[in-house]
Structure formats: structure tokens, C-alpha cells
Structure 1
């Protein structure tokens, strides 16, 4: 669970840095297969609160 949280943090930071792009494609390799994410930094919020 900590690895997923850290990975999501890195992805969100990458989205902030690459905010000029329309779409950021992320592929996470796991033991259960690959997880493909398509992120839209201009649409999605940059912060998430619990």
C-alpha cells in the first residue's frame, strides 16, 4: 500500500511538472500485470485531500 501511495505521489508531481502536455501516459508494472493510466493534468486537480 505504501508503494502505491508513493507511486501516486510521484505521478502527481510528474503531472504538475508536465502540465504543458495534454495527456500523460503512465504504465505501472506490478506482479499482477501492467496498470495503464492516462492522466489529464489540465483537467484534474493538482491536490487531493482526504
Structure 2
């Protein structure tokens, strides 16, 4: 998995394997959630400003 796996191993230690985690997608889920929330916030701000 490249860089993300290297960062995960550096964080959790050399014995950690992301592929055997109960939810490997959880490593990426928070990033996706932050991006989606940011996009929704930008859309809300745009629609709010366009009222004036």
C-alpha cells in the first residue's frame, strides 16, 4: 500500500499489518469524512452567501 502503509507501520510498530486489521478501511475513512464535510460546508456557505 505504499506510503500510507509505511506511515501506519511507523505509527503502530513493525508488527502491525494493515491487511489483517478488522477494518482496514478505517485508516482512510476519517480522511474521506473530513473531505466530505468540508465540501458540504463550502456548498452551504456558497448557498448562504448567494442569498444576499
Q: Which has the larger radius of gyration?
A: 2
Higher strand share: 1
Question: Which structure is higher in RCO with an 8 Å CA cutoff and minimum separation 6?
Answer: 1
Calculate the TM-score normalised by the size of structure 1. Answer: 0.38
Calculate the TM-score normalised by the size of structure 2. Answer: 0.37
Higher helix share: 2
